[in-house]
Amino acid sequence: MQSPTVLARALAAVSLLLTATAYASENPSPVLPASGPASATDTPADVPKEPKAPHSFDLTAIDKTVDPCVDFYQYACGNWRKNNPIPSDQVRWGRFNELAERNNYLLYTELEKASNPSADRTLLQKQYGDFFAACMNTSLANEKGAQPIQPLLQRIAALEDKKQIASLVGDIQSKEVGAAFFVTASQQDLKDSTKVIAGIRQGGLSLPDRDYYLETDDRMVKIRQQYVDYMVTVFKLAGDSAEQAAEEAKSVLDIETALAKGSISRTELRDPQKRYHPMEVSALKELAPDFDWSLYFGSIGEGQLTNLNVSTPDFFKAMNQIVASNSLLQLKSYLRLHILNANAPWLSDEFFQANFNFFGHELQGQDSPTPRWKRCTRLTDQSLGEAVGQDWVKKYFPPQAKADMERLVAALKTSLAQDIQTLPWMSEATRKEAEVKLELFRQKIGYPDKWKDYSSIQISRDDLIGNLDRVAAFDFNYDMNKIGKPVNEKEWGMTPPTVNAYYMSSMNDINFPAGILQPPFFDPTKDPAVNFGGIGVVIGHEMTHGFDDQGSKFDGKGNLREWYSPDDRKQFVEKTDCEVSEYGSFESAPGAKLNGKLTLGENTADNGGLRIAYEALMSTLASEGAGTGQPIDGYNPAQRFFISFAQVWCENRTDQSARVSVKTDPHSPGQWRTNGTVQNFDGFGKAFGCKKGQPMMPENSCRVW
Ligand SMILES: [Zn+2]
């Protein structure tokens, strides 16, 4: 359930880890399956319970039977991994999730209070409280069944010719929960970051990636069969006969497969040049003449639009072919599925269950549905995040945390500046440009200075789907309104309680929501080594994104411009190729190797982040006259730094989820974020007394930054 705003902003951003938000943005289709339905009957797991607060530097997590020079991840996390199996309502369980679950619980307690109509509520509390109450009302959802989406399904059924599809697609994208064919959103012009323009890009798939439609191994064939079974189930729930449902499912799979063939891969999409094709609307009309663009732009309220960036022109040619060659009936089935699928997580239990069985259980290996209260808390945060967040930060984000973060960011910036000055492969001219870019970095910490005003969104206590549609319409309008106006540099792409961080190339800014500024990342009661290993590496990671395979193609003003000399670019590509093949040899699940090119930017950011955070710690200790510092708990500061870093990434994943991630997630799994990174940095081997040639201190290693 992603708003176009979140999508639009997240597209150009690189985040610290993959969340639902990032997932939807990178998946061409915003039809995001929720993590699972709730049951109408309460089980003990559905009763909200306060999770324990995660703490940083966890001695009990360490497995001392493992040699840190052989497998540092297992050393730092072994006992944690043993003692923290994946809860049945999760597919991946790590330190991030512990913190995110706790933030979600604390948010839940606020929403729960605000949902009481007889309580004394502020206007904001009334709005998000009523939204939450509507979401929690499962008996009403069950009573309604498919009724909330019937008007839309009837509009699809009533289409009389293919021409009308364009205006319905526009209505779905701009006013409803759901998406079809492609995504329209505002974006900064890649070559003139002061301008906000309209952008249009590939989309329209329901499975996590184009590969799910195109690969022919047994696993993918099975997933497609399960997907067809799922479609048949929801079509039948919407009132179709078994025969009709099977026919419709076949049409949808055919159309989505054709869209997948016309889509470019995630790896290719990393190259900003490949997503930059500014053109006049008339040129788009020539690319895809069988789709009525005038009707479409009219229906989204952009009839006056003359120019836009078509990220993926070939996709629109393919889409045109699909519109031209499929019958109206087949295209109707496609639209119908997209409405059913997008709304299924929030309709009656039967829809919930069907959606969970496929997207949660079969695809990701989740044992049991996520309890309703967790899902509704997340949904409220996603829908009205800057309303909920205002009250949340007052309670959970002390001003001191912001001041501490500003100091840490400054220390990391100094350290990256030194790194740039001493980097062996870079020429003087390019070095100067890199320094200018670093100087122009902006930062945002905690929460927005100015909050979005949601007061125009009408929220009803007994109309969840209506609320979601009105939020979707608000977000779409908000996003479209940016076109042609000055860039709002203060705007946030993540809500305050989010446990994540991001960098945006076009803004050249680093962003740290309040939610991540807590243990295990940041703990003001701990020694500097622990905080530099936690949040310090996170800050360094986001900064390094400004200089990774994508970020290095943008200058300090956020414009796509080559500022490397040709020779420096050659050197850079050689260095990054080293990481591509290194990480490409790591396995995430048996037989499932990482995609070294897809994960390159994140791996580069992990490596650079670790190195500059380490140097920043050493400078800080030196400036405090502490030398290399005294041991605590038997570990000296360098060792504490690396353990703190590794423990951020302790995790367990289902086999299925690991395989989905290999296809979709630009981040490596925790094991390789840790071991891949420390084995490229001799500072680690020295701290733990490793010998050259041991696995964590190899003879040859990779270094970009
Ligand atoms: Zn990142």
Does 449 participate in catalysis according to the annotation? no
Assess whether pLDDT exceeds 70 at residue 77: yes
What type of residue is 151?
Answer: P
DSSP code at position 178: -
- Residue tagged active-site, from 542, 549, 579, 665: 542
> How are strands ordered across the β-sheet holding 13-15?
13-15, 502-504, 509-513, 442-446
The per-residue pLDDT for range 327-368, each reduced to its tens digit, is 999 999 999 999 999 999 999 999 999 999 999 999 999 999
The per-residue pLDDT for range 402-457, each reduced to its tens digit, is 999 999 999 999 999 999 999 999 999 999 999 999 999 999 999 999 999 999 99
pLDDT of residue 26: 28
Rounded to an integer, the average pLDDT of 508-517 is 96
Neighbours of 209 (CB within 10 A): 21
CA angle 411, 416, 418 (to 5 degrees): 100
Ion ligand 1: protein residues whose beta carbon lies under 5 Å? 14, 16, 602, 605
The per-residue pLDDT for range 292-335, each reduced to its tens digit, is 999 999 999 999 999 999 999 999 999 999 999 999 999 999 99
Return left, alpha or beta for 95; rule: phi > 0 is left, psi -120 to 50 is alpha, else beta. Answer: alpha
Q: Quickly list DSSP for 293-362.
A: HHHHHHHTT-TT--EEEES-HHHHHHHHHHHHHS-HHHHHHHHHHHHHHHHGGGS-HHHHHHHIIIIIII
CA of 606 to the centre of ligand 1 (A): 7
Rounded to an integer, the average pLDDT of 23-42 is 34
CA of 238 to the centre of ligand 1 (A): 41
Bridge partners, 316 (sequence order)? none
CA of 211 to the centre of ligand 1 (A): 23
pLDDT of residue 55: 87
Asked if 426 and 565 count as a contact pair (C-beta separation under 8 A), the reply is no
Among 127-131, 190-194, 621-625, the least confident range: 621-625
Assess whether pLDDT exceeds 70 at residue 39: no
Q: How confident is the model at residue 46 (pLDDT cuts 50, 70, 90)?
A: confident
Cα gap 610→616, rounded to integer Å = 10
CA of 343 to the centre of ligand 1 (A): 30
pLDDT of residue 6: 39
Cα gap 305→308, rounded to integer Å = 8
Q: What is the 3-state secondary structure (H, E, C) of 548-562?
A: CCCHHHECCCCCECC
CA of 81 to the centre of ligand 1 (A): 23
CA of 143 to the centre of ligand 1 (A): 43
How far out from the chain centre does Cα 318 lie?
27
CA of 303 to the centre of ligand 1 (A): 37
Q: Quickly list DSSP for 571-586.
A: HHHHHHHHHHHHHHT-
- Residue tagged active-site, from 101, 176, 419, 606: 606
- Per DSSP bridges, beta strands 278-280 and 192-202 are unpaired
Assess whether pLDDT exceeds 60 at residue 62: yes
The per-residue pLDDT for range 392-412, each reduced to its tens digit, is 999 999 888 899 999 999 999
Q: What stretch of H or E contains 651?
A: strand 651-653
CA of 622 to the centre of ligand 1 (A): 29
* Locus of tokens 């009803």: 460
Number of H helices, E strands in the chain: 30, 12
CA of 173 to the centre of ligand 1 (A): 29
How far out from the chain centre does Cα 221 lie?
27
Assess whether pLDDT exceeds 80 at residue 38: no
Cα gap 335→153, rounded to integer Å = 9
Among 143-152, 393-402, 626-635, the least confident range: 626-635
* Locus of tokens 């064919």: 181
Q: How confident is the model at residue 14 (pLDDT cuts 50, 70, 90)?
A: confident
Q: Count of residues for the chain?
A: 705
Q: How confident is the model at residue 43 (pLDDT cuts 50, 70, 90)?
A: low
Per-residue tokens: 13:
């951003």
CA of 608 to the centre of ligand 1 (A): 11
Asked if 169 and 296 count as a contact pair (C-beta separation under 8 A), the reply is yes
pLDDT of residue 148: 97
Q: What is the 3-state secondary structure (H, E, C) of 12-77?
A: CEEECCCCHHHHHHHCCCCCCCCCCCCCCCCCHHHCCCCCCCCCCCCHHHCCCCCCCCCCHHHHHH
Among 51-55, 254-258, 381-385, 551-555, the least confident range: 51-55
Assess whether pLDDT exceeds 50 at residue 569: yes
pLDDT of residue 23: 27
CA of 460 to the centre of ligand 1 (A): 38
Cα gap 297→167, rounded to integer Å = 8
CA of 577 to the centre of ligand 1 (A): 18
CA of 626 to the centre of ligand 1 (A): 32
The per-residue pLDDT for range 447-501, each reduced to its tens digit, is 999 999 999 999 999 999 999 999 999 999 999 999 999 999 999 999 999 999 9
Assess whether pLDDT exceeds 50 at residue 7: no
Separation in Å, CA 251 to CA 330, 333, 355: 5, 7, 19
Does 112 participate in catalysis according to the annotation? no
More confident residue, 114 or 628: 114
CA of 69 to the centre of ligand 1 (A): 26
CA of 605 to the centre of ligand 1 (A): 6
Separation in Å, CA 284 to CA 167, 312, 479, 628: 16, 11, 21, 61
Q: How confident is the model at residue 47 (pLDDT cuts 50, 70, 90)?
A: confident
Assess whether pLDDT exceeds 60 at residue 44: no
